[in-house]
Amino acid sequence: MLSSSKVDILLLTTPAQHQAINPAVELHPKRLQKWISSLPASDVIATVKQLHSAISAFNEMPLDVAERFKLLEIYNEAFESIVRNYDDMRIRQLRITVTQRASLAEDIMWLYLELSQGYKIIVKDYYENGSNLLGDSVLAASIFRSLELISLGLLYAFRLRATTPPLAFLEISQLYSLAERLDILEKRIRIAKGYARPPSIADLYKLIMLVSVADPYKLDPIKIESLYYALQPFASYCLISNSPDTEHAQFSYSIFLMEDCMPCNEANVESNEYSRFFHVYPALKEIHAWKEKNSKAEVKFAYEQELCLLEEFLQVFFPATSISLPHKTRLMVGMSSCHNLLSTEDNDIVKGLRDTLSVWSVTRQRGHTCKISGSTNSKEGLCVGELVTLLPEDNDSENVRKVIAIIRAVKILEDNRYCVEIDCLSQHAMPITYSVVENNGSAVEMHLGFYIPKELKINPHATLLLAKNSYQSQRRFAISASNHFYTVNAKEIVRETPLYTIFRFNVVTNDRKAS
């Protein structure tokens, strides 16, 4: 039995309410619907900007709860018919620049969050006034809408490979916590659209958490929204409790109700009124059973897309193979430091560099993902998406094995210590230098990067890891590696982080030795 949080506080951000009437804000439902219908649906950039301006001004108006909710539902319906139709595929088809495309996607993300502000105003009003909280359908619907819109904003952040919006995880956990205290977690929200059955607040919270623990920044951006919908029938099988699952600890995640952080798979997290444990193993079992049932030839064609998405999702939790790390490791942070370390062939120099690095403990490893804890005096910050290199702690090995990895999450502990979640990329990565080949054939400015070789079941294709702003599809690069020159064409992206892009490539020319 869950014990409800006793924290007498609700941490939600809402805009200030201005008493003065803004004549530019339309408060008549039919006229508002008419104005929304007149928006240029074919010009989504203009439509998004106009909606954002209107909703932002509307949220600053003091209104009766019933009136506010009715008008918010009209805006939300506009999202259903206009904004949500612009998925990644349609945005990519627009005749706009790459910069405009990225800006539009970010504007849509913030538009979802702006609309969520209106519903959060209702939630805070109910909470602070304390009138008729239990069983109120408007309150439950407003909590659900707030949670849904913030979740959709998070999906856009995952698809953009952007940092998650500030306070997004704190606020969805606060909304969950409030619903838990009011005993309306399982209340079915009849007004919700796009679900196989009327969802509950608990269903929706479990769904966005399930996507969040599946390493969304590693997934193909185009697939993230489809995965979100493919996981809907299974999210409700996840469990949330006050204690960890000791039998399936690797599938048990900590949720911190008073912190702005993603759920994390950590050992030795204390159970208290501010934390919950999110257990995904029951959902994984259901997904596996459904996949087995619908993989038969006679029905497989009907579920081809879902089967592919769910297979990729399961591989996050049950990887085919892994890179094994020692219990103690040393950590080098940042492209320039890692490049310098891996460019050095003299083992004595490598061991000397290693001795200057602090020792980190590998607290948990599952497949290519692991948790490490320790401290660093590195000048380059520990941030999501940064490159790191891990070396064994001791000096015994004649041939020191070095693993490059990408930071997935960072949590600051006491005494300047950190808990860092990383994805191991390769233990055979090769440092390279590269430059962009211009249309006239010149290639001048050199930059640092890595070649990641093909490794069975770890990296199915050879890739390049370069600075994020370097990549463009079909762009030509001049590469220098191990005293050889190569010219390559960039192909599709395999993975993006806020700092780097990993992509496949075609070799155009090779084997021209460097002088």
Per-residue pLDDT of 305-327, as tens digits, reads 888 889 888 888 887 656 778 88
Cα-to-chain-centroid distance, residue 512: 41
Q: Supply 110's token pair.
A: 């913030």
Average pLDDT over residues 461-479: 91
Spell 257-279 as b/e; 16+ CB within 10 A means b. Answer: beebebbbbbeebeeeebbbbbb
Residue 61: which of 107, 141, 122 has the closest Cα? 122
| pLDDT above 90 for 51 | yes
pLDDT in tens, 378-416: 655 788 889 999 988 775 544 456 899 999 888 888 777
* CA–CA separation, 204 and 240 (whole Å): 13
Between strands 369-374 and 418-426, the pairing is antiparallel
**What is the per-residue pLDDT for 463?**
93
Of 464 and 223, which is predicted with more confidence?
464
pTM value is 0.72
Confidence bin at 281 (pLDDT 50/70/90): very high
**What is the per-residue pLDDT for 5?**
44
* CA–CA separation, 476 and 439 (whole Å): 9
Confidence bin at 3 (pLDDT 50/70/90): very low
**What is the per-residue pLDDT for 134?**
40
**What is the per-residue pLDDT for 123?**
94
Residue pair 150/172 in contact (Cβ under 8 Å)? The answer is yes
Q: How far apart, in Å, are the Cα atoms of 400 and each of 87, 358, 397, 432?
A: 46, 17, 6, 19
* CA–CA separation, 385 and 494 (whole Å): 14
Average pLDDT over residues 72-88: 79
Average pLDDT over residues 160-179: 92
* CA–CA separation, 122 and 138 (whole Å): 9
| pLDDT above 50 for 229 | yes
User: At residue 489, what is the residue type?
Assistant: N
**140: number of CA atoms within 13 Å, CB side?**
22
Residue pair 274/7 in contact (Cβ under 8 Å)? The answer is yes
Distance between first and last Cα of the chain: 71
**What is the per-residue pLDDT for 301?**
66
pLDDT in tens, 348-372: 776 777 777 888 988 877 778 888 9
| pLDDT above 90 for 199 | yes
Q: Name which of 28-32, 298-302, 427-431, 478-482 the model is least confident about.
A: 298-302
Residue 494: which of 426, 447, 428 has the closest Cα? 426
Burial of 292 (0-12, 13-18, 19+ CB in 10 A): exposed
Q: Among residues of the chain, what percentage have pLDDT more than 70?
A: 87
* CA–CA separation, 378 and 27 (whole Å): 55
